[in-house]
Amino acid sequence: MENHLSGCNGGIGCVCEEKSYWAVLVLGAGIALMEFVGGFLSGSLALLSDAFHVVADTGSNGVSLFVAYAVRKNLWEERKLRAVSGYAGALFLGFAAIWIFLEALERIFFPNEISAWSVVAIALLGAYLNYRQHRMLVATHRSHVTHESMRFHVHSDLVQSLLVAAAGVTIALTGERIVDPLFSVAVAVYMFFLTIRLSRRSKATWDGLRS
């Protein structure tokens, strides 16, 4: 049946949404762990910054999983939970962005050795796994805000992984290690932008609940 997993008839007891979210969540945690380990071993701050972004998005996806369950069980209002989780996600993104920015500034003046091709390989593997997450969500497509939020997070992770791979190729071909911290500064600025955007969306949602 369209928008349902194999073997599901789409009835009242349908849990396709939760199953796909669980798969995306577990895969996201694996990607984050892989990139954290790869970032430390390769010396790439860009890869570490990507890992922080994946952690933030995986946390948001975890909330989406709970929302899908709560809405089905009528345990809590979706908008209220999204607002609270949005503030928590913004706080994590903000702290991560500050750490990445300060670390990148230090590495601009004191660049470290980077295993560029290792960065490329790990980033491309991460991008492929992000694509698999995307396919999982497409298999159980929904039109509500929770599902669209998860698709946005997965898509942004995919794009960033490809950009990290491009940065790794640039370092490997030119030997310019400064590319890594410069890219990380750009990621930190992007994460600041996401922090502000997420905070505003959460505030708007919360204000809407109070009105």
Token pair, residue 14, equals 């349908």
CA distance linking residue 119 with residue 44, whole number of Å: 7
pLDDT in tens, 92-149: 888 888 988 999 999 999 888 999 999 999 999 999 999 998 888 877 665 555 666 6
CA distance linking residue 62 with residue 145, whole number of Å: 15
CA distance linking residue 205 with residue 198, whole number of Å: 11
CA distance linking residue 63 with residue 176, whole number of Å: 40
How far CA 113 is from CA of 25, 98, 107, in Å, comes to 33, 23, 10
pLDDT in tens, 163-182: 899 999 999 999 999 999 99
Q: In angstroms, how far is CA 198 from the centroid of its own chain?
A: 13
Token pair, residue 155, equals 């898509």
